């Protein structure tokens, strides 16, 4: 008898942690799904994008037609941020959330009643969501989200009104994404040696500060025309170039500011050397144009790559 009791206790001790683990995963998944609705209604897009995998399949075809899309969390949030803040209010009421865990993967469903209000008008759509998720180091991330539309009331014209309102007064998330994209355009223009693209990123009164430039090179260049001249020799003196492989962007409270860490690797044609540099840069982007670029880099690395001890005729490139 004692053997049976002890054996039963041992089995409970073995099985209980597994059951608890499964229950905790279900709870985490339910929290993720509920958080999508809560954060979307609250326009907390920076927090919201962290709930999605690096690539997510989004399918709203049952409501709007078209095709399912693969999106990054940033592109998905940009789409939502370009609509939801334009409403006077939205409320996505989720219920009946159910999740099933299979190892590192999980599926879930939820019913939804979504209300949208603007200018005294209301549009309500009912339906359900189907989700696929993956466990990434203890964090459940959404990899697929499918909306199955049900009945609706009110006019879809609210979508047009909200889109116009959101465009007229973009939220900080949209501005931050625009700021980051301008910086990417600047760096990729150098990689591609596309000087027309390069010229488009600068404001007319732009300034580039370079406090650690070596002797004989400017520490400050003012105005778009002078910046284009400053980089004018770039296509001739550079071979293969990469500035975005190790790109890290740090958002700031002001959405028009971003601090960027990146590495550069450039084949320098006149010397035959490879220029490997580590950069830090503060960018101020206003109305889609760079107003200020304060750049930090190692002047000794620059001097060696361009052999400044014997040559000083390679333009003013860094």
The predicted model gives 49-68 an average pLDDT of 97
pTM to 2 decimal places = 0.80
pLDDT on residue 307: 86
Q: Is residue 115 very low, low, confident or very high in pLDDT (cuts 50, 70, 90)?
A: very high
Q: Is residue 2 very low, low, confident or very high in pLDDT (cuts 50, 70, 90)?
A: very low
Nearest to 32 by CA among 113, 132, 148, 147: 132
Q: Contact, 126 vs 151, CB < 8 A? A: yes
Question: pLDDT > 90: what percent of the chain?
Answer: 87
Kindly report, residue by residue over 249-290, the tens digit of the pLDDT.
999 999 999 999 999 999 999 999 999 999 999 999 999 999
Which of residues 3 and 176 earns the better pLDDT score? 176
The predicted model gives 189-205 an average pLDDT of 98
| One-letter-per-residue 3-state SS of 140-193 | EEEEEEEEEEEEEEECCHHHHHHHHHHHHCCCHHHHHHHHHHHHHHHHHHHHHC
Q: Is residue 18 very low, low, confident or very high in pLDDT (cuts 50, 70, 90)?
A: very low
pLDDT on residue 253: 94
Mean pLDDT, all residues of the chain: 92
Q: Which fold has domain 173-305?
A: Nuclear Transport Factor 2; Chain: A, (3.10.450)
Is-same-fold flag (24-167; 173-305)? yes
pLDDT on residue 312: 57
Unique residue bearing structure tokens 């075809």: 61
Among the CATH numbers 3.10.450.50, 3.30.230.70, 3.40.50.10320, 3.90.1300.10, which is that of 24-167? 3.10.450.50
**In the chain, domain spans:** 24-167, 173-305
């Amino acid at each position: 008898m004692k053997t049976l009791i002890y054996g039963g206790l041992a089995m409970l001790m073995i099985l209980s942690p597994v059951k608890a683990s499964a229950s905790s995963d279900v709870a985490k998944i339910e929290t993720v799904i509920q958080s999508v609705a809560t954060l979307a209604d609250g326009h907390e897009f920076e927090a919201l994008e962290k709930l999605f995998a690096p690539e997510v399949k989004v399918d709203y075809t049952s409501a709007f037609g078209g095709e399912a899309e693969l999106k990054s969390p940033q592109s998905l949030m940009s789409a939502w941020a370009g609509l939801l803040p334009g409403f006077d209010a939205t409320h996505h009421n989720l219920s009946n959330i159910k999740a099933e865990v299979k190892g590192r993967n999980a599926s879930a469903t939820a019913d939804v009643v979504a209300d949208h209000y603007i200018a005294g008008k209301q549009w309500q759509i009912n339906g359900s969501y189907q989700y696929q998720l993956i466990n990434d180091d203890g964090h459940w991330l959404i990899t697929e989200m499918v909306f199955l539309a049900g009945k609706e009331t009110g006019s879809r014209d609210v979508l047009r009104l909200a889109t116009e309102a959101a465009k007229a007064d973009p939220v900080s998330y949209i501005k931050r994404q625009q700021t980051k994209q301008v910086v990417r355009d600047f760096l990729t223009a150098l990689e591609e040696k596309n000087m027309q693209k390069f010229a488009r990123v600068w404001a007319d009164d732009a300034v580039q500060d370079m406090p650690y430039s070596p002797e004989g090179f400017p520490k400050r260049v003012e105005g778009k025309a002078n910046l284009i001249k400053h980089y004018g020799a770039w296509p001739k003196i550079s071979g293969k170039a990469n500035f975005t492989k190790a790109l890290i962007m740090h958002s700031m409270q002001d959405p028009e500011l971003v601090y960027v860490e990146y590495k550069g690797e450039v084949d320098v044609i006149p010397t035959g050397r490879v220029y490997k540099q580590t950069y830090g840069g503060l960018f101020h982007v206003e109305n889609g144009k760079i107003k200020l670029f304060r750049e930090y880099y190692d002047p000794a690395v620059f001097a060696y790559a361009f052999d400044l001890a014997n040559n000083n005729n390679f333009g003013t490139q860094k």
